[in-house]
Structure 1
Amino acid sequence: MTAVLLTLTSAGLLASCTSAVQGAATPQATPAQPSNADNAKPLAKFSSCDMLGQATAGMGYSTPVPSIADPKKSCESEKQGFGGVSLLLQPDKAINERPSSGNAKSAHIGSRVVIQTAEPIGTKGDCNIAMEVQPSSQAVVIVSNNMGDTNEACTRAQSFAEKLHGMLPP
């Protein structure tokens, strides 16, 4: 009976191994599965300041600081002679819940739906890009150009959105 149990136990252990390394079994790593809470609010564990810091690194922007408007979800950084960039993480707001604007246009970065809005509140030199984060969240890049150049603001917003896209969950 003991020999049968040892044989069954050994067979079970070997079945969970990927390969032999110099005769020793190597256990197979099991990928961590996100919890239902993580799936419901995929941005809950992200820091807008950390992400913005990575996106602006080496570009002459100041160290990102929490914004006054929403310090728990938004962070901002300034660049002397240009203006600023902010990142707003909205774990409870889907991209289709954004206010509509005549200056908004839909696009994609990879497979991610984005909405670019030039001059969202009528201010020349401002451009926002909202990026969808499934199932019902969004990350918004907000760029302001001190010279009032909306096209330049949208070009920079697109560049930041492309960098941040890879840092976000699907």
Structure 2
Amino acid sequence: MITKSRLLVFAALPITLTFALSSCSSEKPGNATPVPTQSDASSKTSSPSTNVFEDLKACDLLEPTTTPKGFDPPVVETYESDNGCATRKQGFGSVSIYLVPEAGIDQLSAGQGTKIPTKVGSRDAVEIPGDAGTQACTVAIAVTPSARLTASTSLNKGTNEEACALSREIATAAEPKLPRGS
């Protein structure tokens, strides 16, 4: 069944084609070039959104710390961002690291824990003991005001402090490899 709007489109098509074809003339040789519109000009002056992490991969940051500790090979994970990585160690727990280009440490939820301001290297950071309940901790490093790295640990047995120690170790090892933000 053809609706009225589709019928109008089909009826207007020959008129539109005739107008479009008559706009071109063979009297003047050369190539037609479009004149930039205001939106074209403004889009060229605005900078495109870039990922501060560029080609840096989360698994490349996690693996050097976890493999020597007997963790499974890390695997890509996309829970917190498209650039995440996680691994586990049977009977011990799991760890993950994320590079989050679109949210800074201020946008990080404390979950069940409390954000504690700290430093990792020379960078501002927060530590969140108990963010996912007992035996858990996240350490997040500010890369820019709107980008962060998070390192999280969840233990099978242990304390928030033990989980924070491993999250801090992972974050501290990754920090020198992070780009310097603006």
TM-score (norm 1): 0.70
Please show how residues 113-132 of structure 1 align to structure 2 within 5 Å: 113-121=124-132, 123-132=133-142
Q: Which residue does 1:53 correspond to in 2? A: 63
Give the gaps of 5 or more residues in structure 1. Answer: 1-35
Which of 97, 101, 106 is the matching residue for 1:96?
A: 106
Please show how residues 1-170 of structure 1 align to structure 2 within 5 Å: 40-67=50-77, 69=79, 72-100=82-110, 103-121=114-132, 123-170=133-180
Q: 1:148 to 1:124 in 2, by over 3 A?
A: farther
Q: Pick which of 61-70 and 74-83 moved more.
A: 61-70
Distance 2:123 2:97 in 1: 17
Moved over 3 A (4+): none
State the aligned residue count.
133
Distance 1:115 1:76 in 2: 20
Which one has a bigger Cα radius of gyration?
Answer: 2
Distance 2:96 2:77 in 1: 8
Shift of 1:55: 2.6
TM-score (norm 2): 0.66
Give the gaps of 5 or more residues in structure 2. Answer: 1-46
Distance 1:153 1:53 in 2: 17
SS of residue in 1 equivalent to 2:171: helix
Q: 2:110·2:128 contact (CA, 8 Å) conserved in 1?
A: no
Distance 1:158 1:58 in 2: 16
Distance 2:102 2:81 in 1: 16
Q: 1:44·1:91 contact (CA, 8 Å) conserved in 2?
A: no
Shift of 1:37: 6.3
